[in-house]
Amino acid sequence: MRRRSFGHRLDHRFGHRGFGHRSDHSRGHPLGHAFPDRSRHPFEPGKLVAGLVILGVAAAYGMDAAGEWDVRPEIALPALLCGLCVAALTSALTYAFRRRSSRATPDD
């Protein structure tokens, strides 16, 4: 009986070649690892802002648990909500900017 790795069906369905596959991108690298293709995943500053806000609130609650700070929920939860609103605004502005800049480029 042949054993299959976890997720084999998904790898086959989406055209992935498996764990040991060396792509053309990896030939120049001494360890054989491919460099990440930065064109596939654009930078999203809204997600960065949201992550930093959540990490800040988590750090505040961690300091509260350690006994260093006294964090009141009346302050921390509105700060979290305001920070997430800033992250949403950042995402909306990024989307609008990218949409406008893609319309402004001349078509070949």
Question: 67-104: per-residue pLDDT in tens?
Answer: 998 988 899 999 999 999 999 999 999 999 988 888 87
pLDDT category, 4, cuts 50, 70, 90?
low
Question: 49-77: per-residue pLDDT in tens?
Answer: 999 999 999 999 999 999 998 988 899 99
Report the number of secondary-structure helices (H) and strands (E) in the chain.
3, 0
- 93 vs 4: which has the higher pLDDT: 93
Concatenating the DSSP letter of every residue in 54-78 gives: HHHHHHHHHHHHHTS----HHHHHH
d(CA 15, CA 18): 9
pTM over 0.75: no
Residue pair 57/76 in contact by the 8 Å Cβ criterion = yes
Residue 69 DSSP one-character state? -
